Structure 1
């Protein structure tokens, strides 16, 4: 049974890899956003509470995609967002 499950998982991973290769050849790519400055044109922000990470992507909640530089789906990211302190 363990061998059957492992074979099934291996087969699924091979199919996923094949789809990823075909889509990449067609121009689809993941949006590279982790650790980058927040880009509202390609990303949707979720709240975070670390002031040192202001306007920086610290976690990807959902991968975004571009097809030949056209946005297919924005990345959903956790980003630091804090107003300037008065003082």
Structure 2
């Protein structure tokens, strides 16, 4: 968030810097602007009622998952410094 909000970098630049997809950066910024830090919490698997919600059907390959999680950690570290 800091890269986008404070440093003035664009979505593409932030995505390239973190090694992630631009759409993920856009999604994070939009959620943060709308809901604050709570908007960045993982929402999958938190259905309010049992047997509701969409199950995850496609497994992420381990390398992609690691990259995504590392990028999320870096983004959250930067947010905590705000």
For the criterion TM > 0.5, the same-fold answer is no
Q: Larger % of helix: which?
A: 2
Q: What TM-score, normalized by structure 2, do the two folds share?
A: 0.25
Q: What TM-score, normalized by structure 1, do the two folds share?
A: 0.24
